Copies of this chain bind each other. A is one copy, B any other.
Amino acid sequence: MNHSISPFAPSTYPDMPEVAGIRLATAEAGIKYQGRDDVLLIDLCEGTQIAGVFTQSKCASAPVDWCKEKLSGGLVRGMLINSGNANAFTGMKGQSAVDASARLTADVLSCSADEVFLASTGVIGEPLNPGKFDGVLQSLAKNLHADGWKQAANAIMTTDTYPKMATRHLELDGYPVTLNGIVKGSGMIAPDMATMLGFLFTDAPISAPILQALLARLVGGSFNAITVDSDTSTSDTVLLCATGAAAKAGLAPISELADPRVQVFADVLGDLMRDLAQQIVKDGEGARKFVEVAVKGAQDDHSAKKIALSIANSPLVKTAIAGEDANWGRVVMAIGKAGEPADRDRIAIWFGDVRVATQGERDPDYSEEAASRVMQKDEVSLTVDLGIGPGLSTVWTCDLTKEYVAINGDYRS
């Protein structure tokens, strides 16, 4: 299982600043991996507000069930995140493991278990032994510190080929505010599946209902606008926490959605989330190309997104891109199968800035050579104009390569 590092792996990582009110620690609990940290403890100051979005799977993991239940409180004091075992499809044992893990974490952080959030990623169907946490929680609690974001991003990786993190700085009423995020994406855990986990933190004083509204809105253009292989994990979790520590400097709390500062914050948060989401796709299993699919002229935005995802999920489109083939016939196919309103004779398609089809036919001025140059790049954009309405959507994906099949099919060899 030695798969090559994504060509999009960054040569340098962002310098992640502290977020007032947040301390982190990682440790090696030996859940599955050897010789690397696999558990992350996060301590959040009293009063930290939390929002979350989760997998739509009908077979969600035990930690997802736990988080959904605890979210109604809107408060968080601790997070325990592990890689190596997803604690999914583990029945009653999974539920007990979650209960025990939250209790153990609450003990070392001196908070209520109801304010502990959990996330697990890795093997499905293997019972998760909470005793593994018991052995390291004391030392984790002692080692909590305000930096160490890169170690945190590393500890939650499965077969991601690089750690994923991003930071943003903004000012609200002239007061500095920080936004940090770490995510892990679609790597393969033999013998199981990919999982998306994302954790976002700010010191801005924003109440849980507003965080929830922002997260629910912005996830559509970021984490819900990416696809590697159309498969949905049992464990997908994105949590957004606001410690409110910036209020100490004098920043007035934000507790109304109509507050004009909400939009300022939302713009930066949306940018951070898109950045992190794109990092996941760029490290998609076997990815060699990063693909932006933009659909315009659809009946409405919802219809545009269905068509964009139909294109981005099509194995035939994705293998064509792997083969550097400007195969617009397959794009037409993917538009057609989406089942959304489309008029064959109005469709236009571009690869990069080369229009390959217009008015339901091959573009008469289409240059195969120019299109080939576009397809040879690492990043490929594909634009479709349906010509029937104002609907817009952009999604991101990667190509489908033999490496994807190798990663997911060859582990026994």
Contact = CB atoms under 8 A, between A and B. Distances in A.
Interface stretch (A41-49, A66-74, A215-223, A359-367): A359-367
A91 B359 contact: yes
Given A316-B193, A319-B404, A329-B192, A362 B125 contact: yes
A299 to B, nearest CB: 11
Contact of A58 (B229, B319, B324, B338): B338
Given A193-B316, A327-B191, A327-B192, A125 B332 contact: yes
A64 B319 CA distance: 26
A58 B334 CA distance: 10
B332 A89 contact: yes
A112 interface: no
Interface residues of A, number: 73
Contacts of A325: 191, 409, 411-412
A336 interface: yes
A233 interface: yes
A354 to B, nearest CB: 15
Contacts of A59: 332-333, 335-336, 342, 344, 347
Q: Which of A56, A333, A399 has the most CB of B within 10 A?
A: A333
A92 to B, nearest CB: 8
Interface string A100-138: 000000000000000000000001111100000000000
Contacts of A58: 335-336, 338-342, 344
A264 interface: no
Given A341-B58, A411-B325, A91 B336 contact: no
Contacts of A193: 316, 329-330, 333
A89 B315 contact: no
A93 B405 contact: no
A362 B126 contact: yes
Contacts of A402: 402, 405-406
A18 B139 CA distance: 82
A374 interface: no
8 closest Cβ pairs, A-B complex: A124-B329, A57-B336, A59-B336, A323-B409, A232-B337, A319-B408, A319-B409, A91-B361
Interface of A: 55-60, 88-93, 123-127, 191-194, 229-234, 313-316, 319-320, 322-325, 327-330, 332-342, 344-345, 347, 357, 359-362, 399-402, 404-406, 408-413
6 contacts: A91-B344, A91-B361, A125-B362, A193-B329, A233-B333, A323-B412
